[in-house]
Amino acid sequence: MPVAAHFRVLWLETARWVNFEENFNEVEQRFTEAHVPPMKFSCINSFREKLSQHLKILQTDALTLGQALDEVAKYALSQNCIQGNEQYDVLRAILFAERWHPDVKGHISDAAEFDQYWAGTLPEGVNPLSLGSKEQGASSLTKALSIHNESQHPYHRYNQPLTNCLSPGSEACSVICGLVDFLKSPILILLRLNKSIQRSCISEVDIPVRFIFIYIGPHNDELNYAELARIFAVMMTNDTFRLCVYDAISVDDVIKGIDNFMQDSFVMPLSRHYNANALAGMTRQIEAYRKETVCERDGDRRTKSLITVRKLTEQSQNNLVNGSYLPSSLNLKSQSDNVVKSDGDNKLSIPINEIETPKVSKSQIFLRDFYPPFIELSRGIRPWIKRMPGDYKDAVKKDNLSIVIGSVLFIYFVNLSPSITFAALLNTQVDPSYTVTLTLLAVGVYLIIFTLLAGQPLAIIGISAPIYIVESSLVSVSKSTGVEFKQLRFWCAFYCSLFGFISVGCNMSGIAKHIRRSVEEVYNSFIGFFFLLKALFTMFLLIPARPRDTTPISRMIYYQKLAVAGCTLFLAFIMLQFCLILAQLKRGNYFRRNIRKLLGALNVPLGMLLITGLERIFFRGYNLPTVNIPLSDQVNASTWVNPPNFSRLQDYSNATPTLIHGISVAIGIALAIIIFTEAALNGLTAMKNKAVKPNIFVMDLVLLQIIFPIISGVSGWPFVSGTTVRTLSNLVALVKMDQSPAPGMPHKIVGTVEQRVSGVFVGLLVALSIFLGSILSHIPLAALYGMFLYMGVMGLRDLTFVLRICSLMKRRKHWEDWECVRGLPSRHILVFSLIQAAVVLILVSLNIISDFTVSNYVGLIFPIIILIYGLIREFLLPKWKWLALYLHQLDRKYKLHPSVIRKPPSTVRNLSTIRKESVASFASGGLTVTSQLKTNNFIEYIHDHETASYSDFSEHEDGVVRRTWAT
């Protein structure tokens, strides 16, 4: 029976669907976690049988809920389900009773509010208390049922968060079920409204109602109305079944929809022993089944006319068809004979040989990419100019302004911490002329110029680990040759700019399109190990050797140095653990999302604050080394620039000019390769979070390879290049998330605020940090070493290369934890990982040799090693047939430029019905449930997740399964 609340009849919402099912727990008074709705196979068969026997499809022009439900009561009277006007009035009153939505603030629970609702909805002059009499109650109730539902009254309150998660154009389906004892036979009706009902209290969300499914009847031990009605609600989550309901004319059409639904369903036997891990193992089988189902429907889902296909064949030789995709590797051979297209209702079969594109020779590809000179630069100038106004307009848009302002402080701390660390290392271990003030000013000015003029303003530049290696090698070469350090830097900067000019002229920027993920993995692994080893070596070198003499003074100095070394190690590891804990909190479920995001953004500044406090409280008497920066009132502008002595540029001391220029050419080429590699990886990183604006990579090369090296050589500023970690942090700060995800769905990235304003302000703040010397001078160097350890650990933790090595240490049944090893043979993973590990080992060995020997210049060889590995991966490994079979899955290409957003192709039926997101609601035992069924349009899904022109395997990112389509 319906629920009685304060002697009023109410329909209680007990379940709902927005992608997944949520059930209302009456004990806890809340909805349970969203989950995939299970159904019994016997219930589906029983439901199908009942539909074929009793279902009646009513199509009505009713504009209000009262008019629609009144037709249901009239149908029940005409079919002798009820007898007499008295039962007719009671049934009509029950159908139009109040809806109680638990998540709606101020739900109907008080008699006064209940009476106020009826008083607000009844026409003027009608007394709600007089509804008790039979004659007057019937006429009054009839008037009440005819009230337009768009009128405002206290009850019209909606679940706004749930409404926000629905896409525009969503429609609701209400499923009402329960026991009504006086009915002679069950009432099974699908009420389809020609015009949807607006602002109805039947749903907790403020969207129009399109369908009302009613299944009520007398008590019957063989019938569970709630369970059978739930079957219909669950089926409405399926787009195929929902389309059948939209178009259904007879009951047979609905039955056909059930049959189509069953073709897309799994049957899972109930086992005596089951657990979460066992159920999770079904994920791979479900994914494989979904891919197979998509392939079978490929010809019906994607339609396009023959004329359009021929036009696209002439326009592009990379895309086979626009709006039509060949299926993935599943059934690819059987589908490759013909591509089925349709234009309206006329389907055409297009032979593959009619749309095949002419083959292009390698020489033609080479001429297209590298000839004539500076063609890439000329092609990039126009889109670079076009995106400039938009980069400033997008920053001040209403939806983006708060994100831009909030990201400035976050990115400032992200850039300030490594800038101070590298500044301290350059000052103490490279050359004293690199003061902290000079380095901070240089990084800030470079960042401002780069953000204003770059082809990818989301990228962040600064001093990186390879740049530090180059600076250290320059000092070593300068000491060994006797040439002044600034003079050698000038010639290296000159040849770096010259080589950069040649590379831009030869259109070498096109090479970035061929960068593989394994190259990035090797490079980032080397950077991660560099951070770890550099911090550890620097701290362990602080441990003094035991003095030979045993005088009290020497022993006291020895113990003082030993104490300083021990305290530095201790504080550095405290810094590491503190930052790791904050990073773990950010990934966990403690605190609210905004607090976790704030802790993750400020983990390094908070760690520095903690270490500074510990040093000032507990280790103040140890005189631990701190950042060497002038106080705020002692800033000297003369130290901001440290140019070489131009009158002595031709003074080579005891060395020959040929030797000096030869060394300068070698170092300049190595520096240019480093800058090119880091700039390319930086550009790839900036395109990860659904960036849509063009990435003019050649403009980045002009700045980083040509202009900035000359400025550094003349002014004495340190060299700069791309910094992928800081760029990734910038993307995190500027990302636009789906603020209202459906229940059970994670927050999804919807885009990135692509603008130049935040980078300019960050660079300005970094440059102005030279006036914070009174604060920065208290930071112990131990905090900077701890930050290096943290950057190394975080840089290695999430690399696919590291995850694969870790997976090889486990049994294969535990590999389901990682996407990067699923479906791949163990031997192929082992061989490919060993190749990468060998390259990383060589790079780390070179780093150790350069740190522990006088041959610091050995570290300059590492870009050559990475270049050799890239050539081996691109040309030799594909010829190894045994490994080439899975090479495309082990190592994929990056896309330097965003995908072109294509409009979905036209379909036979109206897309407005396909894109509707239905909301189902049902009642159990007099209890109603409002539920949302969010539809994923198949065609839009394909376009949004199209990958590159080679096979790829699915990955779970941001809660969305990313499919692969071979094109």
Structure confidence at residue 898 (pLDDT):
53
Residue with tokens 């009505």: 60
Whether residue 230 sits in one domain with residue 303:
no
Residue 826 belongs to a domain: no
The torsion defined by the Cα of 230, 231, 233 and 239, in degrees rounded to 10, comes to 160
Answer whether residue 887 shows pLDDT above 70.
Answer: yes
Distance, in Å, from the CA atom of 97 to the CA atom of 34, rounded to the nearest integer, reads 28
**H or E segment at 301?**
helix 298-301
Whether residue 397 sits in one domain with residue 334:
no
- Burial (CB count within 10 angstroms: exposed 0-12, middle 13-18, buried 19+), residue 39: middle
Whether residue 260 sits in one domain with residue 325:
no
Structure confidence at residue 666 (pLDDT):
93
Domain that holds residue 763: 369-792
Where among 758, 792, 826 does a domain terminate?
A: 792
Give the least confident one: 34-48, 380-394, 503-517: 503-517
Residue 102 belongs to a domain: yes
Residue 173 belongs to a domain: yes
* Residue 360 CB coordination number (10 Å): 10
Phi, psi of 321 (to 5 degrees): -145, 155
Phi, psi of 937 (to 5 degrees): -65, 125
Percent of the chain with pLDDT over 90: 34
325, amino acid identity: Y
Whether residue 500 sits in one domain with residue 383:
yes
**15: helix, strand or coil:** strand
Answer whether residue 652 shows pLDDT above 90.
Answer: no
Phi, psi of 56 (to 5 degrees): -130, 125
Structure confidence by residue, pLDDT tens digits, 616-638:
999 988 889 999 888 888 888 88
Whether residue 350 sits in one domain with residue 412:
no
Structure confidence at residue 141 (pLDDT):
42
The distance from CA 892 to its chain's CA centroid, rounded to whole angstroms, is 18
- Sequence-distant (6+) residues with CB within 8 A of 286 are 266
Structure confidence by residue, pLDDT tens digits, 283-304:
777 777 777 766 665 554 444 3
Answer whether residue 668 shows pLDDT above 90.
Answer: yes
Cis before 372? omega within 30? yes
Whether residue 300 sits in one domain with residue 167:
no
CATH of the domain at 93: 3.40.930.10
Structure confidence by residue, pLDDT tens digits, 824-838:
888 999 999 999 999
- Burial (CB count within 10 angstroms: exposed 0-12, middle 13-18, buried 19+), residue 942: buried
Whether residue 297 sits in one domain with residue 262:
no
Structure confidence at residue 548 (pLDDT):
81
Overall domain count for the chain: 3
Residue 820 belongs to a domain: no
Q: Mapped to the 3 state alphabet, what secondary structure does 414-428 carry?
A: HHHHHHHHHHHHHHH
Whether residue 480 sits in one domain with residue 337:
no
Residue 247 belongs to a domain: yes
Helix, strand, coil percent content, the chain, rounded in steps of 5: 60, 10, 30
Whether residue 342 sits in one domain with residue 222:
no
Distance, in Å, from the CA atom of 432 to the CA atom of 424, rounded to the nearest integer, reads 10
Max avg pLDDT among 324-328, 424-428, 683-687, 904-908: 424-428
Whether residue 304 sits in one domain with residue 159:
no
In the structure encoding, which two tokens stand for residue 380, read together?
């990039």
Max avg pLDDT among 71-85, 445-459, 911-925: 445-459
Distance, in Å, from the CA atom of 165 to the CA atom of 160, rounded to the nearest integer, reads 9
Structure confidence at residue 391 (pLDDT):
93
4/391: higher pLDDT: 391
Confidence of residue 18 (pLDDT cuts 50, 70, 90): confident
Confidence of residue 500 (pLDDT cuts 50, 70, 90): very high
Structure confidence at residue 571 (pLDDT):
95
Query: CB–CB of 210/916 below 8 Å?
Result: yes
Distance, in Å, from the CA atom of 815 to the CA atom of 281, rounded to the nearest integer, reads 11
Structure confidence at residue 692 (pLDDT):
84
Answer whether residue 660 shows pLDDT above 80.
Answer: yes
Give the least confident one: 127-136, 222-231, 461-470, 713-722: 127-136
Where among 731, 761, 792 does a domain terminate?
A: 792
Confidence of residue 800 (pLDDT cuts 50, 70, 90): confident
Answer whether residue 183 shows pLDDT above 60.
Answer: yes
Structure confidence by residue, pLDDT tens digits, 93-140:
888 888 888 888 655 544 444 444 444 444 344 343 333 333 444 444
Confidence of residue 862 (pLDDT cuts 50, 70, 90): confident
Structure confidence by residue, pLDDT tens digits, 538-576:
899 888 888 887 788 888 989 999 999 999 999 999 999
* Residue 53 CB coordination number (10 Å): 10
Task: Compute the average pLDDT of residues 522-535.
Answer: 91
Structure confidence by residue, pLDDT tens digits, 315-361:
433 433 333 323 222 232 333 333 333 333 333 333 434 444 456 67
Structure confidence at residue 933 (pLDDT):
33
Residue with tokens 């020497």: 554
Structure confidence at residue 674 (pLDDT):
92
Alpha carbon of 826 to those of 329, 807, 883: distances in Å?
21, 10, 12
Where among 330, 355, 380 does a domain terminate?
A: 355
Whether residue 673 sits in one domain with residue 556:
yes
Q: How many residues does the chain have?
A: 967
In the structure encoding, which two tokens stand for residue 565, read together?
């070394």
Answer whether residue 165 shows pLDDT above 90.
Answer: no
| Bridging pattern class, strands 98-100 and 171-179 | unpaired
Structure confidence at residue 204 (pLDDT):
86
Answer whether residue 424 shows pLDDT above 80.
Answer: yes
Q: 119-131 burial string, b = 16+ CB within 10 Å, else e? A: eebbeeebebeeb
Whether residue 406 sits in one domain with residue 544:
yes
Task: Compute the average pLDDT of residues 905-930.
Answer: 36
Distance, in Å, from the CA atom of 439 to the CA atom of 433, rounded to the nearest integer, reads 10
Compute the mean pLDDT over every residue in the chain, rounded to the nearest whole number. Answer: 78
Structure confidence at residue 751 (pLDDT):
84
Percent of the chain with pLDDT over 70: 78
What's the whole-model pTM score?
0.76
Distance, in Å, from the CA atom of 557 to the CA atom of 285, rounded to the nearest integer, reads 68
Distance, in Å, from the CA atom of 128 to the CA atom of 126, rounded to the nearest integer, reads 6
Task: Compute the average pLDDT of residues 367-392.
Answer: 88
Alpha carbon of 340 to those of 304, 949, 963: distances in Å?
9, 20, 21
Distance, in Å, from the CA atom of 914 to the CA atom of 917, rounded to the nearest integer, reads 8
**465: helix, strand or coil:** helix
Residue 957 belongs to a domain: no
Structure confidence by residue, pLDDT tens digits, 692-729:
888 899 999 999 999 999 999 999 999 999 998 889 88
Residue 276 belongs to a domain: no
Residue 689 belongs to a domain: yes
Distance, in Å, from the CA atom of 21 to the CA atom of 39, rounded to the nearest integer, reads 12
Structure confidence by residue, pLDDT tens digits, 252-283:
999 999 998 988 887 888 766 777 777 776 77
Structure confidence by residue, pLDDT tens digits, 429-442:
888 889 999 999 99
Distance, in Å, from the CA atom of 423 to the CA atom of 445, rounded to the nearest integer, reads 15
